[in-house]
Chains A and B, each alone.
Chain A
Amino acid sequence: ETGVTQTPRHLVMGMTNKKSLKCEQHLGHNAMYWYKQSAKKPLELMFVYSLEERVENNSVPSRFSPECPNSSHLFLHLHTLQPEDSALYLCASSQEGFGGKLFFGSGTQLSVL
């Protein structure tokens, strides 16, 4: 079993749909992250939770809504997305604080039609 698991692997949704991405980590880490990876752009940090408290929200549009019910699970709720939101969404976790290694899942490839 991999350390960080993301579901679904692929998602196609219309602009009026509501969907959620799920991330689960089995590493006992206390911080979890959402990153967005678009073509030809650096990975962008979207949200960070440390000890289940949100510590960073990088000016992400409100159509993206994170939820961290416990230290092992992280969700990204999506509604009324735009085509430019199509990207690979990566979840990560870490334990060590500053300088700690991030462990990534395989991502959800999202296409918004």
Chain B
Amino acid sequence: AQKVTQAQTEISVVEKEDVTLDCVYETRDTTYYLFWYKQPPSGELVFLIRRNSFDEQNEISGRYSWNFQKSTSSFNFTITASQVVDSAVYFCALSEPLRGANNLFFGTGTRLTVIP
């Protein structure tokens, strides 16, 4: 069965600090996709990144970077020089195929608070 663990429930950092959000997943599938979503107070989950199981290349997008390691089943997310606007709940998710659709198994989320 698919499972995603985000051990950090809440993190607080001071603005401009770097912060890493951890994600560990379990799956028996050889082909899978991993996602990160951001949920600001408005409630809408905002897509940040998707990574498939055959692409272990790390990715950087501005202040955001992702470290995917199949050997440890981890897909960690780092925010560099954090800003107040980064305050949100961040979810890691693992996909399962579903007849023309895509089921995402989510972790319980990490609430990030950036203090000005």
Q: For the complex, is A30 an interface residue (Cβ under 8 Å from B)?
A: yes
| Chain B residues within 8 Å of chain A by Cβ, number | 27
Q: For the complex, is B108 an interface residue (Cβ under 8 Å from A)?
A: yes
Judge whether B43 and A88 touch: CB under 8 Å.
yes
List of A residues within 8 angstroms of B104 by Cβ: 43, 45, 102
Question: Which chain A residue has the least Cβ–Cβ distance from B109?
Answer: A42
Of the candidates B52, B99, B101, which one forms a contact with A94 in the assembled complex, judged by CB atoms under 8 Å apart? B101
A35 to B5, CA, bound (A): 19
Interface residues of A in 75-98 (CB under 8 A from B): 88, 90, 92, 94, 96-98
Report the contact-size class of chain A (Cβ under 8 Å from the partner): 20 to 34
Judge whether A97 and B102 touch: CB under 8 Å.
yes
Among A97, A101, A107, chain B packs the most CB atoms within 10 A around the CB of A101
Q: For the complex, is A111 an interface residue (Cβ under 8 Å from B)?
A: no
Q: For the complex, is B70 an interface residue (Cβ under 8 Å from A)?
A: no
Q: Interface code A46-67, partner B: CB below 8 Å = 1, 0 otherwise?
A: 0011110001100000000000
Of the candidates A31, A51, A106, which one forms a contact with B102 in the assembled complex, judged by CB atoms under 8 Å apart? A31
Instruction: Please list the residues of chain B having a beta carbon within 8 angstroms of any beta carbon in chain A.
Output: 4, 33, 35, 37, 42-47, 50, 52, 91, 95, 97-109
A-B contact sample (11 more), CB < 8 A, given A55-B101, A94-B102, A100-B101: A2-B44, A41-B108, A42-B4, A42-B105, A51-B100, A90-B45, A97-B102, A103-B47, A104-B44, A104-B45, A107-B43
The 6 lowest CB-CB distance pairs between A and B, nearest first, are A50-B100, A98-B97, A31-B101, A104-B45, A99-B33, A43-B106
